[in-house]
Amino acid sequence: MAKEEAAGSLREKNVKVVFVLGGPGSGKGTQCANIVRDFGFTHLSAGDLLRAEIKSGSENGTMIQNMIKEGKIVPSEVTIRLLEKAMIENGNDKFLIDGFPRNEENRAAFEEVTKIEPEFVLFFDCPEEEMEKRLLNRNQVLSSPHGRDDDNIETIRKRFKVFLESSLPVIEHYYSKAKVRKVDAARSADEVFESVKGIFSSFGPKDS
């Protein structure tokens, strides 16, 4: 019942959702911050919400933590409920959802539970070599002199593989509905944001 009510109140709010997808190192975080600043969206990261829930020490948080520890994928419905709650509690009606849906099952469940279809998917398309270079640079800045780059590169490549296998079917699905806005993310952050601004111009500038 609560689920039905949640979906109902989101529809009443006439919530607009944009999914933000891109591989690790494609610059999603930087661009989301720019969109929030200029177009008044609220940025929701599925990963951040899950981490916050774990930190809260709730029963739900403990269950999530145990699943992650065991290397299991957190059920779609758990993540969707957290996203739904965050959207209802937030006064805004425009949301960027970052890093979700991670796969087709997430996508189908989100539309089924919330009864919301995204306005579009903002897809940051970046060659693997470029993302690898960015992440390694970032790791070198963050890590101690003893940090081992071969460890990093192995982990990074695994993350790319997971992204490609899981997220590309989601992108294909929305391509078939003409709902993908692809941005060449290999350029500088400023150049990328010029393209992003064009995509979001229909939403108008942030209310001053």
Domain locations in the chain as residue ranges: 2-201
Is 157 annotated as ligand-binding?
Answer: no
Q: How far is CA 71 from the centre of its chain?
A: 20
**Band of pLDDT at residue 55, cut at 50, 70 and 90:** very high
**Band of pLDDT at residue 123, cut at 50, 70 and 90:** very high
* 140, pLDDT greater than 80: no
| Alpha-carbon distance values, 138 to 32, 43, 153, 188, 191 (Å) | 19, 22, 12, 15, 20
Q: Residues 187-192: what's their mean pLDDT?
A: 94
Is 115 annotated as ligand-binding?
Answer: no
Is 81 annotated as ligand-binding?
Answer: no
pLDDT on residue 143: 55
202 DSSP assignment: G
Read off the pTM: 0.85
Asked if residue 110 lies in contact with residue 3, where contact means CB atoms within 8 angstroms, the answer is no
**Closest listed residue to residue 90, CA positions, set 144, 22, 34, 40:** 40
Q: Which amino acid is at 98?
A: D
pLDDT on residue 146: 47
Topology given in CATH for the domain delimited by 2-201: Rossmann fold (3.40.50)
90 DSSP assignment: S
| Alpha-carbon distance values, 51 to 16, 48, 80, 133, 164 (Å) | 24, 5, 14, 27, 24
pLDDT on residue 4: 63
Is 187 annotated as ligand-binding?
Answer: yes
Is 159 annotated as ligand-binding?
Answer: yes
Is 95 annotated as ligand-binding?
Answer: no
Say if strands 42-45 and 120-125 run parallel, antiparallel, or are unpaired.
Answer: unpaired
* 141, pLDDT greater than 70: no
Is 99 annotated as ligand-binding?
Answer: yes
